[in-house]
């Protein structure tokens, strides 16, 4: 049995643990990456239209179900 001595620690050299690299954010607003200042009007209009359609459907179901 032979033992190797030295700084490498034997046959296999010790590998350094890779340091995780975080990508740089593309756009930063108020410290939050990839965020616009305020939502667009189209998005707000779509949300309101979907909500109004849902309320209209619920009212229709209530009226159609009553005798």
Q: pLDDT by residue (tens digit) across 28-56?
A: 666 666 655 566 888 899 999 999 999 99
Is residue 6 situated within a structural domain? no
Per-residue model confidence (pLDDT) at position 16: 75
Adjacent-strand bridge partners of 33: 28
User: Total domain count for the chain?
Assistant: 1
Is 53 a domain residue?
Answer: yes
pTM, rounded to two decimals: 0.44
* Per-residue pLDDT, 22: 75
Looking at mean pLDDT, say which of 12-26, 28-42, 52-66 comes out highest: 52-66
Q: Residue 12 has what pLDDT? A: 62
pLDDT reported for residue 66:
77
User: Would you say 35 and 29 are in contact if contact means Cβ atoms under 8 Å apart?
Assistant: yes
For strand 28-29 and strand 32-33, is the pairing parallel, antiparallel, or unpaired? antiparallel
**Can you give the C-alpha Rg of the chain in angstroms?**
31
The domain containing residue 62 runs over which residues?
A: 39-67
Rounded Cα distance between 55 and 49, Å, is 10
């Amino acid at each position: 049995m032979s033992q190797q001595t030295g700084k490498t620690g034997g046959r296999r050299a010790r590998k350094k643990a890779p340091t995780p690299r975080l990508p740089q954010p593309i756009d930063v607003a108020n410290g939050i990456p990839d965020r616009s200042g305020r939502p667009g009007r189209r998005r707000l209009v779509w949300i309101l239209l979907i909500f109004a359609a849902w309320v209209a459907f619920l009212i229709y179901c209530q009226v159609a179900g009553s005798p």
